[in-house]
């Protein structure tokens, strides 16, 4: 009987189990709007990190419905990117452009794309400079995003922090290049220090295919090398999980 608390307890996360992907997307969009309204009221701008993969498409469909948001004050970043051209069908940037950013009046200057055309290492370095400039960071300081949206893979990865990757142990950089093991595909990803400096992290996970990973991540003692999502625990921020019933199927 292990007496070390599970990740869910240690990370003080708030878990919401919702009927389906549309409900998860609606809830994620509600968090997006709430965080945006609050940040714009307090600081005059909203810095948000979009996640990659496919789930965000449903989230974007809900976010675009909000016609009251002042998009001139919204600054969009990405948690990770595949090292493909911005026009490639695998591009996280392209997914957001097609399903969200082309449909709202966000200024181009507010879209902080990871410039994959530079190659993985140079793109990571350039993106780190963009963060340092936007947040006016002193050397060694961390950016505090108002909101970071994250998905999770069936292996417990998040952003492009994959099991066993060197990036899991990198606390010296804001952004690093990484490799998706099964795909041997080059990626660029924010590191844990940046994810964990956020004011809010909202995780969205849907589908039966994720149920084993959801159970493993939430109900086991932290072992972030095997289950990278367990390394996400905002130091001074809120952590919210939005999952559908299929993804929750293995939970007690």
Minimum CB–partner distance for residue 162 and ligand 6PG (Å): 9
List the one residue out of 77, 244, 51, 238 whose CA is nearest residue 161.
Answer: 51
Task: Check binding of 158 to ligand 6PG (CB under 6 A).
Answer: yes
Smaller CB distance to ligand 6PG: residue 112 or 157?
A: 157
Task: Check binding of 119 to ligand 6PG (CB under 6 A).
Answer: no
From residue 35, give the alpha-carbon distance in Å to each of 41, 45, 47, 71.
10, 10, 9, 13
Q: Do the Cβ atoms of 31 and 202 come closer than 8 Å? A: yes
Minimum CB–partner distance for residue 43 and ligand 6PG (Å): 26
Minimum CB–partner distance for residue 204 and ligand 6PG (Å): 7
Task: Check binding of 222 to ligand 6PG (CB under 6 A).
Answer: no
Instruction: Count residues near ligand 6PG (CB under 6 A).
Output: 15
Minimum CB–partner distance for residue 101 and ligand 6PG (Å): 17
Q: Do the Cβ atoms of 175 and 193 come closer than 8 Å? A: no
Task: Check binding of 244 to ligand 6PG (CB under 6 A).
Answer: no
β-bridge mates for residue 177, sequence order: 188
Q: What strand order describes the sheet that includes 80-82?
A: 80-82, 185-190, 175-180
10 Å CB burial of residue 83 (0-12, 13-18, 19+) is buried
Q: Do the Cβ atoms of 16 and 241 come closer than 8 Å? A: yes
**Footprint (CB under 6 A) of ligand 6PG, residues 46-75:** 51-55
**Footprint (CB under 6 A) of ligand 6PG, residues 122-141:** none
Maximum alpha-carbon separation in the chain: 54
Tokens of 84: 């493909």
Which of 94, 112, 128, 153: binder of ligand 6PG (CB under 6 A)?
Answer: 153
Which of 47, 92, 178, 191: binder of ligand 6PG (CB under 6 A)?
Answer: 92
Smaller CB distance to ligand 6PG: residue 55 or 146?
A: 55
Q: Which residues contact ligand 6PG by CB under 6 A?
A: 51-55, 79-80, 92, 151-153, 157-160
């Amino acid at each position: 009987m292990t007496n070390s608390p599970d990740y869910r307890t240690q990370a003080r996360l708030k878990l919401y189990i919702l009927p389906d992907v549309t409900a998860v997307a609606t809830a994620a969009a509600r968090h997006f709007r709430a965080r945006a309204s609050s940040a714009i009221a307090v600081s005059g701008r909203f810095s948000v990190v979009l996640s990659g993969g496919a789930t965000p498409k449903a989230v974007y469909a809900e976010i675009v419905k909000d016609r009251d948001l002042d998009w001139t004050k919204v600054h969009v970043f990405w948690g990770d990117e595949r090292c493909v051209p911005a026009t490639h069908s695998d591009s996280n940037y392209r997914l957001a452009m097609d399903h969200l950013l082309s449909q709202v009046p966000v200024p181009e200057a507010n879209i902080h794309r990871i410039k994959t055309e530079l190659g993985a290492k140079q793109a990571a370095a350039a993106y780190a400079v963009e963060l340092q400039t936007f947040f006016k960071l002193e050397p060694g300081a961390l950016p505090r995003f108002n909101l970071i949206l994250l998905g999770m893979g069936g292996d417990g990865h998040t952003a492009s922090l994959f099991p066993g990757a060197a990036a899991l142990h990198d606390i010296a950089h804001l952004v690093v290049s990484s490799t998706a093991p099964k795909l041997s595909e080059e990626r660029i990803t924010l590191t844990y220090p940046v994810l964990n400096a956020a004011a809010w992290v909202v995780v969205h996970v849907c589908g039966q295919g994720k149920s084993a990973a959801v159970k493993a991540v939430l109900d086991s003692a932290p072992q972030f090398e095997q289950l990278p999502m367990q390394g996400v625990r905002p130091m001074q921020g809120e952590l919210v999980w939005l999952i559908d019933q299929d993804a929750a199927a293995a939970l007690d």
